[in-house]
Structure 1
Amino acid sequence: MREFGVSDALNELEPVILILLPVGVFWLAVMTS
């Protein structure tokens, strides 16, 4: 079992961030309008 490093965590989170970032920006734009 290999060590789970920071770069591995970032690689796992990248697709989640790419999805949540535009959703979060859109949600903020809707809430503040």
Structure 2
Amino acid sequence: MGLPHVLHVIITAKFGEYLVLKYILIKEKGSEFL
């Protein structure tokens, strides 16, 4: 378990966070437009 593994975990977590936020925004905006 070296630095590359830690970086991969951080990037994956940030990317997952981004996808969740994007999904929530699309869901809210979508319900507004409907």
TM, length-normalised to structure 1? 0.50
Flag as ranges the 4+ runs of structure 1 deviating above 2 A: none
How many residues align structurally?
Answer: 23
Q: Which has the higher helix share?
A: 2
| Percent of residue pairs identical | 9
User: Tell me, which stretches of 5 or more residues in structure 2 are unaligned?
Assistant: 25-34
User: Tell me, which stretches of 5 or more residues in structure 1 are unaligned?
Assistant: 1-10
TM, length-normalised to structure 2? 0.49
- Structure 1 vs Structure 2 CA RMSD: 1.4
